Amino acid sequence: MTDLEPVEGELVPAAPARAVHSPRDLELSDDTRQAIEDSIPKNTKRAYGRQWETFEKWCAEQDRTPLPATAQTLAQYVRHLTVTPSKRTGRTPAPSSIEQAIAVIRVAHRAVGHRDQPETVAALRVLKGYKKTRSESGTRKRKAPAINLDKLRLLIGDCDTATLAGLRDRTILILGFTMMARRSELADLHIEDVNEDDEGDLTILIRSSKTDQEGDGAEVIVPRGVHNETDPVRVVRAYKEALAERGVTKGRLLRAINQWDQITYDTMSGDAINEMVQRRAARVLPDDNLVYTAHGFRAGGAGEAYKNKAPLSAIRNQGRWAEGSPQVLEYIRVVDARKENPMRGIGL
């Protein structure tokens, strides 16, 4: 012990032999409960809510108890998921979706005092077998097709810039690609978050994102372009001017717009952004036979930047991938697989 360390009984009170909590120690005020609830991202709450509702419904149909659930119930539920195709896709869920379902069930139990329940050993064995079966059948992890620069131009060409909706959609496409943005990040942008800086580029504030759950915020620079129809600065400026003409100068950047080109809601959801991308891609990229989504911006933006010799650290920062995340490597590995292929140029 050094002279600087406090001695028990002087600066640090001696710990009681056994802590005894009063009922007051276990209370939470309504505003504290709300603060805890508000700390959970909306997208996470929606996804977890759907997972729990699905589990509760299955338990009711099977005459099983969802809370507290037994290890056998959890294992049986996982088996059910592995053999039941989705009504929306016609496919059984990806292993990652089942892993999320298990996590949601455990979180729900922990929230009401059933820590470490239900036991997961049997359920995880069922999931392990499912993964092996999928691998042996040739089923691989589904990846969002990349929206590269050529495809981006085709999508932008589908936007009627004589309309507010066309200006908005062009803005979504450009910012999604140049920011390598998640659709939730785009949906959360405010008009005052996107500004032209002293260098003539765009400086964009992302208030929070998947890898910034604490809401520290991140600043992204999007440089000027060389073509009018794809220059981010011109594209955003034209859309913001059109909003201002309608008296909209603050609040959410992306607004819901109806078929008569009228703003109907003060925000556009991430799902609506995704649907717009899918709808336009189906029109201009039908021969690809692929389902493009807003996630393709991240893959395409990262791939194009890497082909242009941008360093990996810069790509990671622009797309706000967490340090050590392997996802960005998957996007640029596709580029290397072609460009640096060891069989290329050997004289075959």
| 300 falls within a domain | yes
* 290, 201: one domain: yes
Average pLDDT, the chain: 84
| 96 falls within a domain | yes
Global pTM reads 0.68
* 88, 155: one domain: no
pLDDT in tens, 231-283: 999 999 999 999 999 999 999 999 999 999 999 988 999 889 999 999 999 99
- The β-bridge relationship of strands 256-257 and 218-222 is unpaired
| 304 falls within a domain | yes
pLDDT greater at residue 86 or residue 34:
86
pLDDT greater at residue 131 or residue 12:
131
Instruction: From 52, 50, 47, 55, select the one nearest 75 (Cα to Cα).
Output: 55
Residue that finishes a domain, picked among 136, 165, 197: 136
| 15 falls within a domain | no
Residue 12: pLDDT over 50: no
* 94, 121: one domain: yes
State the residue for tokens 């949601």: 104
Is the peptide bond between 118 and the residue preceding it cis, with omega within 30 degrees of 0?
Answer: yes
C-alpha to C-alpha distance for 149 and 297, rounded to whole angstroms: 10
* 203, 261: one domain: yes
Residue 71: pLDDT over 80: yes
* 113, 154: one domain: no
Q: Would you state the structure tokens that stand for residue 128, as one six-digit string? A: 């392990």
C-alpha to C-alpha distance for 312 and 294, rounded to whole angstroms: 22
Residue that finishes a domain, picked among 111, 136, 161: 136
* 131, 158: one domain: no
Q: Would you state the structure tokens that stand for residue 277, as one six-digit string? A: 């991308």
Coil vs helix vs strand at 186: helix
pLDDT in tens, 187-214: 999 999 999 998 999 999 998 766 555 5
Q: What is the CATH number of the domain that holds 99?
A: 1.10.150.130
* 182, 307: one domain: yes
* 53, 87: one domain: yes
* 38, 178: one domain: no
H/E stretch holding 256 reads strand 256-257
> Between the CA of residue 279 and those of 104, 247, 286, 299, 301, what are the distances in Å?
32, 29, 11, 19, 20
Residue 323: pLDDT over 80: no
| 34 falls within a domain | yes
Helix-, strand-, coil-residue percentages of the chain, each rounded to 5? 50, 5, 40
State the residue for tokens 């942008």: 189
> Contact 181/175 with Cβ under 8 angstroms?
yes
* 177, 319: one domain: yes
* 154, 41: one domain: no
Containing structural domain, residue 294: 149-337
Confidence band (pLDDT; 50, 70, 90) for 324?
A: confident
Residues belonging to the chain:
348
| 18 falls within a domain | no
pLDDT at 145: 85
- Residue 343 gets which letter from DSSP? T
For the ranges 145-154, 255-264, 323-332, which has the lowest average pLDDT? 323-332
pLDDT in tens, 87-127: 777 788 888 889 989 998 998 888 878 888 899 999 999 99
| 7 falls within a domain | no
How deeply is 34 buried, as exposed, middle or buried, from its count of CB atoms within 10 A (0-12, 13-18, 19+)?
Answer: exposed
State the residue for tokens 């009711």: 60
* 34, 170: one domain: no
Radius of gyration from C-alpha coordinates of the chain: 25
- Residue 194 gets which letter from DSSP? E
Q: What are the beta bridge partners of residue 314?
A: none
Domain total in the chain: 2
